[in-house]
């Protein structure tokens, strides 16, 4: 048996009939020579000391309660209890006790209580009184209190006392005595009445609750509970309930029964939450019936309101009426919030009917109005209501917004209103934005989208979302990673070309939330998000955030890239290599220096994944362009491993080339035609696999998007041109024996999107030789100013005298896919 199952708390009952915790330990049963019999032993888990050593006496009455408690008495006034962490442990020890006493383990009490009042009572005819209650008089209050508290440890006696109280109308007599004591300022009597009323509540009987919580009695019950003996001064609960707490009717309730039920539920909830002390381990189930009483009251209230369509229609009419004043609208929204909270108590089929009634009456258009209001309280309550609706039926919300899109502008669509509220959250910790982001995530999650024979909710809604909403979601990201116009002549390697403005904590938190949602999209919306990233050159903008002073935001940007690479999609891989998008990541790694932190580990993990998964196109790009800057990192073997993978692949390609006719060897770096055909087939079939729809036409593109494929047709047109240019694109050897690289960027580089910091690795790289040697002297190249308006940054070296002439006679341009 595991230690967890044997873990118990040991309790003893003190003179005040309260259970004292003696410590936590592990229980076992074994023969103890000194006690001459099988015994229960509990050793403390802290130091192994003996907390309990109790012989299992064949004549002792052991009681099993609540599946995890064993209670017994060892002497007249010495009660013990073991509270088990797990039911299995309690069952095993109970079986040991029953085995010693020769009893069936299915019983809950092992022995009849010999010479006890309980045995005597059980032998009486059922027609005779179960418990003789003392007469209800002032001088008997102490005796009554002792009786009530003494029965709480015995389920049998609790049952008998409850029947006695119910049959004799005893509670109303006690409450009359309370009024007498209060008038006489009889403090002792009031303290006894507190113990009595509290004990009666712990009897856990619904029939007694009906009497105690009636309009006639409930305020006196609250009054009794004000006089806790442990307090120096009584509480003023009745004053709060009658004067401070005000019942607000947003629309007058004409049904008197409904009004009474609402009042009763509020007061009983107040008793449970505010007045009664937190129950101990032995009392936590004593109030289960009180919880049920409140639960069924709420169900009844919701049902009665739901059936009164006239009432709900009036509430909706006032909520959406422009003439309704702000205070009234706030009350109406708070009413609906509480109404929806009550609905969580309904059974699933009833909850279905409830939300369908709200939808029919127009809850979603009403929310659309109130969520856009300036009042923070109204917006907060409306967000809570919206969360109930999304949790209940995301499909219902999605259906509404798609129908709405046919009649309304994008700006006033419900989902765009939600996104704008997330973006405009004024809370410094963005508590509301986090809640709204979770709701958006639920709405765009394909896992809860329905698919039928006639239509696919997934394709319809995602088309809607990317056409009408995605631009609103990404607007803050694009705005905060925009390049300043004056930076288009930035020096390659400068730290000033990528700006995040403003780079404050609240903006960083918001961008982190948006990135979290976009990362979710990369994982679950492969087709739609891929088109969006390609068309908007989104990854380049996201990687600008690697320069943020907030490390958590840089990590979010890195996580976004990691998810993209994790898909091992060659279209993404070509997009990354053509855009030279590893540069900001490597710059961040170099800027981090020797610090061993989360950013360092996350970047290393990214490259380790590429190495382990052997993503050849990325390995070749990293080694050819960045190895000189990375080879000094030796505390992990990741980069050496990438170089090894690269050289192994190069050797394989060389062996392949040696096996083909020499006429084909000139195209050394030409891509395998089969690989191209597979990519084309993948692109062509991509949507059939996911959505069954044609490729959506790209949005109007800026110059920066011309480097990336926007359709299958354009890709096919450029295939042959690319193959013919590959030969010309070989990097030319400099006089120093190295290669000079011209890193191609999208047009956004002209505006500074490609700028890196002072550790820019847009550097000269020597050819990776088969023996792994490389020229360390050219690891980082001095940067020069790019020609004004040019799309690329050129890297030159003082000792590279022949290159200028070569550039003039043989200008080289990086081939662009789709150009």
The pLDDT confidence band at residue 764, using thresholds 50, 70 and 90, is very low
Q: Looking at residue 9, what is its pLDDT? A: 85
The least confident of 119-128, 517-526, 697-706 is 119-128
- Dump the DSSP string for 548-573: -S-HHHHHHHHHHHHHHHHTT-HHHH
As its CATH architecture, domain 4-101 has: Roll (2.30)
Alpha carbon distances (Å) from 457 to 292, 393, 444, 452, 656 = 39, 13, 11, 8, 49
Lowest-pLDDT range of 23-37, 290-304, 393-407, 737-751: 737-751
* pLDDT at position 342: 84
* pLDDT at residue 744, rounded to an integer: 37
Q: How confident is the model at residue 316 (pLDDT cuts 50, 70, 90)?
A: confident
Specify the range with the lowest mean pLDDT, choosing from 36-45, 88-97, 310-319, 663-672. Answer: 663-672
Give the separation between CA 247 and CA 555, rounded to whole angstroms. 50
pLDDT surpasses 50 at 103: yes
CA 582 – CA 576 distance, rounded (Å): 7
**111: three-class secondary structure by DSSP:** coil
- Tell me, what's the pLDDT at 628? 92
Q: Give the three-state DSSP class for 13.
A: strand
The confidence score (pLDDT) of residue 46 equals 82
Question: Average pLDDT for residues 531-542, to the nearest whole number?
Answer: 94
Neighbours of 584 (CB within 10 A): 28
What is the rounded CA–CA span in Å between residue 582 and residue 588? Answer: 10
The pLDDT of 398-416, averaged and rounded, is 84
Mean pLDDT of 375-382: 88
Burial annotation 423-458 (CB, 10 A radius, 16+ → b, else e): bebeeeebebbebbbebbeebbeeeebeeeeeebbb
Q: What is the pLDDT of residues 475-494, one digit of tens each?
A: 999 999 876 433 433 333 33
- 3-state secondary structure at position 744: strand
- pLDDT above 70 coverage of the chain, percent: 73
Query: Residue 169 pLDDT > 90, yes or no?
Result: no
Higher per-residue confidence, 529 vs 721: 529
pLDDT at 409 over 70: yes
Task: Name 71's bridge partners.
Answer: 63, 81
- Residue 680 CB burial class (10 angstroms; 0-12, 13-18, ≥19): middle
Decide if pLDDT at 402 tops 60: yes
Whose CA is closest to 479, among 506, 516, 507? Answer: 507
Average pLDDT, the chain: 77
How far is the C-alpha of 176 from the C-alpha of 167, rounded, in Å?
17
CA dihedral 687, 691, 693, 698 (to 10 degrees): -60
Q: pLDDT (tens digit, 9 = 90+) per residue, 179-201?
A: 999 999 999 999 999 999 999 99
Higher pLDDT, 775 or 303: 303
Helix-helix angle 309-320:288-307, to 10 degrees: 80
Residue 151 is predicted with a pLDDT of 86
pLDDT (0 to 100) of residue 682: 55
**Are the beta carbons of 442 and 394 closer than 8 angstroms?**
yes
In this structure, are strands 50-55 and 78-84 parallel, antiparallel, or unpaired? Answer: unpaired
pLDDT digits (tens, 9 = 90+) for 666-686: 554 455 544 545 554 554 455
Q: Is it the case that residue 170 has pLDDT exceeding 70?
A: yes
Taking phi over 0 as left and psi of -120 to 50 as alpha, with beta for the rest, 429 belongs to alpha
Q: Please tell me the pTM assigned to this model.
A: 0.61
Between 576 and 745, residue with greater pLDDT: 576
How many of the other CB atoms lie within 10 Å of CB of 1?
11
Give me the pLDDT at residue 276, please: 85
Domain range annotation of the chain: 4-101, 130-282
Q: Which residue has the higher pLDDT, 462 or 48?
A: 462
Judge contact between 165 and 211, C-beta under 8 A.
Answer: no
Give every strand in the sheet of 19-32, ordered side by side.
50-55, 37-44, 19-32, 7-13, 78-84, 69-75, 63-65
Q: Which residue has the tokens 């008197």?
A: 256
Cβ-based burial of 299 (10 A; exposed 0-12, middle 13-18, buried ≥19): middle
Given a cut of 60, is residue 337 above it in pLDDT?
yes
Q: Please report the pLDDT score of residue 762 as a whole number.
A: 39
pLDDT at residue 129 above 70?
A: no
């Amino acid at each position: 048996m595991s230690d967890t199952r044997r873990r118990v708390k040991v309790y003893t009952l003190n003179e005040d009939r309260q259970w004292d915790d003696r410590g936590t330990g592990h229980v076992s049963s074994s023969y103890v020579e000194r006690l001459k019999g099988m015994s229960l032993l509990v050793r403390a888990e802290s130091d192994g000391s003996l907390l309990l050593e109790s012989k299992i006496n064949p004549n002792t009455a052991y009681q099993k309660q609540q599946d995890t408690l064993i209670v017994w008495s060892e002497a007249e006034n010495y009660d013990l209890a073991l509270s088990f962490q797990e039911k299995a442990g309690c069952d095993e020890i109970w079986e040991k006790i029953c085995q010693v006493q020769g009893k069936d383990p299915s019983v809950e009490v092992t022995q009849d209580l010999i010479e006890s009042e309980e045995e005597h009572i059980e032998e009486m005819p059922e027609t005779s009184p179960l418990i003789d209650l003392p007469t209800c008089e002032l001088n008997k209050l102490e005796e009554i209190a002792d009786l009530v508290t003494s029965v709480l440890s015995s389920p049998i006696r609790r049952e008998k006392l409850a029947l006695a109280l119910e049959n004799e109308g005893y509670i109303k007599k006690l409450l009359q005595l309370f009024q007498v004591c209060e008038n006489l300022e009889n403090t002792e009597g009031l303290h006894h009445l507190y113990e009595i009323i509290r004990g009666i509540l712990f009897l856990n009987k619904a029939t007694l609750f009906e009497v105690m919580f009636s309009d006639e009695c409930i305020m006196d019950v609250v009054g009794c509970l004000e006089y806790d003996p442990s307090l120096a001064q009584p509480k003023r609960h009745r004053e709060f309930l009658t004067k401070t707490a005000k019942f607000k009717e947003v629309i007058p309730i004409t049904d008197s029964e409904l009004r009474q039920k609402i009042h009763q539920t509020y007061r009983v909830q107040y008793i449970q939450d505010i007045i009664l002390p937190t129950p101990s381990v032995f009392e936590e189930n004593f109030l289960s019936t009180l919880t049920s009483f409140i639960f069924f009251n709420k169900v009844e209230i919701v049902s009665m309101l739901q059936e009164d369509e006239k009432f709900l229609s009036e509430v909706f009419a006032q909520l959406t009426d422009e003439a309704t004043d702000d205070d009234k609208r706030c009350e109406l929204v708070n009413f609906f919030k509480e109404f929806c909270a009550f609905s969580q108590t309904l059974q699933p089929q009833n909850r279905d009917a409830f939300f369908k009634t709200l939808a029919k009456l127009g809850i979603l258009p009403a929310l659309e109005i109130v969520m856009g209001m300036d009042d923070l309280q109204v917006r907060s309550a409306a967000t809570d209501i919206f969360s109930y609706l999304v949790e209940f039926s995301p499909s219902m919300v999605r259906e509404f917004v798609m129908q709405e899109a046919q009649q309304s502008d994008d700006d006033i669509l419900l989902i765009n209103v939600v996104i704008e509220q997330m973006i405009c959250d004024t809370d410094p910790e963005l508590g509301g934005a986090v809640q709204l982001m979770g709701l958006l995530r639920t709405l765009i999650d394909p896992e809860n989208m329905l698919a039928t024979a006639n239509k696919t909710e997934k394709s319809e809604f995602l088309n809607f979302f990317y056409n009408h909403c995605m631009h609103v979601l990404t607007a803050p990201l694009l705005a905060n990673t925009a390049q300043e116009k004056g930076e288009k002549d930035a020096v390659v390697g400068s730290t000033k070309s990528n700006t995040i403005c403003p780079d404050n904590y609240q903006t960083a938190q918001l961008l982190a939330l948006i990135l979290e949602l976009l990362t979710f999209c990369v994982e679950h919306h492969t087709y739609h998000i891929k088109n969006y990233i390609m068309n908007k050159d989104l990854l380049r903008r996201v990687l600008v955030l690697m320069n943020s002073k907030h490390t958590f935001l840089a990590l979010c940007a890195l996580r976004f890239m990691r998810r993209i690479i994790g898909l091992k999609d060659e279209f993404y891989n070509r997009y990354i290599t053509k855009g030279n998008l590893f540069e900001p990541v490597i710059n961040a790694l170099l800027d981090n220096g020797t610090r061993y932190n989360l950013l360092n580990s996350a970047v290393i993990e990214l490259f380790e994944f590429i190495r382990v998964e052997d993503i050849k196109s990325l390995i070749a790009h990293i080694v050819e362009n960045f190895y000189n800057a990375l080879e000094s990192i030796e505390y992990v073997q990741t980069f050496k491993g990438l170089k090894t993978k690269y050289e192994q692949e190069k050797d394989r390609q060389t062996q392949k080339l040696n096996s083909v006719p020499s006429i084909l060897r000139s195209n050394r770096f030409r891509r395998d035609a089969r690989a191209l055909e597979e990519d084309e087939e993948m692109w062509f079939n991509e949507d059939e696999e996911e959505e069954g729809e044609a490729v959506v036409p790209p949005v109007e593109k800026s110059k920066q998007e011309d480097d990336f494929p926007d359709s299958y047709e354009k890709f096919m047109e450029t295939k042959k041109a690319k193959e013919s240019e590959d030969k010309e694109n070989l990097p030319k050897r400099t006089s120093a024996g190295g290669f000079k690289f011209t890193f191609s960027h999208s047009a956004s580089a002209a505006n500074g999107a490609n700028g890196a910091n002072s550790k820019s690795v847009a550097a000269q790289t020597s050819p990776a030789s088969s023996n792994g040697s490389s020229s360390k002297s050219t690891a980082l190249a001095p940067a020069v100013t790019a020609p004004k308006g040019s799309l690329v940054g050129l890297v030159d070296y003082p000792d590279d005298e022949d290159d200028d002439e070569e550039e003039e006679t043989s200008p080289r341009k990086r081939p662009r896919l789709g150009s």
